[in-house]
């Protein structure tokens, strides 16, 4: 299929349902190199990272590592992946314009030691006006209903931001107060993914994930966040929230 047609189909799917699925977005050597880079990063970089960018289900137990923030700040390969090349190009296509690369995250749900991801809209965390941003989620493992695949509520991006409250979940501090509605249940889709598959969702799309209920299957992924240049960030409120949250997590011994 010609690239232009493929791009317009991806954009249509994204605009219509609030998410797009790009199977085998990375494959072969590209995928192998990225997975290898992640493995080395976990050994070499994580011990040097500040507490507010490294989350464990149980602090002090390395086998429960659940989330890393801003990999691009600690590794030039990850900086390149976030700021140039296919991920950014896809973000520009889906956002129909220029984007600002914001964050490259790592997610893991270790078997037997993970918690569900609460239902949320990324836009609630981002504090943007207009709320125009995309998150891309790249599977590093085979991820299905058993080990906690991502679940989207189709077309939920069309009805604006919904109320959130503190969730008590480290790394996903806010969750929807009114979830699930009947429509949420009717429109929910569970997306299984193979390594290299990419899911992209609008910042208003409701999504969540179960815990990893398998006994030994890993469940790892990378998240790439881009804001549209049309969006204005409430940087003061965002910084204040992040600082207050980090202080609270430190005071309660969670990070």
Ligand X SMILES: O=C(O)CCC(=O)C(=O)O
Please give the residue ranges that form the binding site for ligand X (CB under 6 A): 107, 117, 122, 135, 137, 150, 207, 209, 221, 223
* Cβ-based nearer residue to ligand X, 6 or 109: 109
180 preceded by cis ω (within 30°)?
yes
Cα 88 to Cα 34, 91, 99, distances in angstroms? 16, 5, 8
* Cβ-based nearer residue to ligand X, 18 or 223: 223
Least distance in angstroms from the C-beta of 163 to ligand X: 18
* Cβ-based nearer residue to ligand X, 53 or 207: 207
* Cβ-based nearer residue to ligand X, 112 or 250: 112
Return d(Cα 58, Cα 167) in angstroms, integer: 17
* Cβ-based nearer residue to ligand X, 221 or 228: 221
Q: Is 20 left (phi over 0), alpha (psi -120 to 50) or beta?
A: beta
Beta-strand pair 99-108/65-68: antiparallel
Least distance in angstroms from the C-beta of 218 to ligand X: 13
3-state SS class at 228? strand
Q: Phi and psi for 193 in degrees, rounded to 5?
A: -145, 150
Q: What number of residues does the chain have?
A: 255
Report CA torsion sign: 37, 43, 44, 46. positive
For 177-210, give one letter per residue: b (16+ CB within 10 A) or e: eebeeeebeebbeebebebbbbbbbbbbbbbbbb
Least distance in angstroms from the C-beta of 29 to ligand X: 25
Among residues 141, 164, 145, 166, which one has the least CA distance to residue 222?
141
Least distance in angstroms from the C-beta of 147 to ligand X: 11
User: Alpha helix (H) ranges present in 156-218?
Assistant: 182-187
Among residues 141, 150, 126, which one has the least CA distance to residue 201?
150
Least distance in angstroms from the C-beta of 48 to ligand X: 24
Least distance in angstroms from the C-beta of 117 to ligand X: 4
* Cβ-based nearer residue to ligand X, 198 or 236: 198
* Cβ-based nearer residue to ligand X, 139 or 249: 139
Least distance in angstroms from the C-beta of 208 to ligand X: 7
């Amino acid at each position: 299929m010609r690239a232009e047609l493929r791009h317009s189909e991806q954009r249509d799917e994204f605009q219509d349902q609030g998410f797009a699925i790009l199977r085998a977005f990375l494959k072969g050597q590209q995928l192998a190199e990225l997975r290898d880079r992640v493995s080395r990063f976990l050994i070499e970089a994580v011990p040097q990272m500040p507490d507010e960018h490294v989350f464990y289900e149980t602090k002090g137990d390395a086998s429960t590592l659940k989330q890393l923030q801003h990999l691009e700040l600690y590794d030039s390969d990850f900086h390149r992946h976030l700021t140039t090349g296919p991920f950014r190009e896809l973000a520009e296509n889906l956002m129909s314009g220029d984007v600002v690369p914001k964050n490259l995250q790592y997610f893991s749900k270790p078997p037997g030691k993970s918690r569900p991801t609460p239902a949320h809209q990324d836009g609630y965390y981002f504090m943007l006006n207009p709320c125009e941003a995309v998150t891309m989620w790249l599977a590093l493992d085979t991820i299905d209903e058993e080990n906690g695949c991502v679940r989207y509520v189709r077309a939920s991006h069309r009805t604006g931001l919904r109320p959130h409250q503190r969730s008590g979940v480290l790394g996903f501090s806010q969750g929807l107060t009114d979830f699930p509605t009947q429509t949420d249940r009717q429109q929910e889709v569970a997306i299984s993914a193979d390594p290299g598959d990419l899911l992209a969702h609008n910042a208003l799309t409701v999504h969540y994930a179960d815990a990893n209920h398998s006994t030994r299957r890993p469940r790892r992924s990378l998240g790439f966040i881009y804001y549209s240049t049309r969006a204005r960030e409430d940087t003061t409120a965002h910084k204040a929230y992040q600082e207050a949250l980090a202080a609270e997590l430190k005071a309660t011994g969670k990070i």
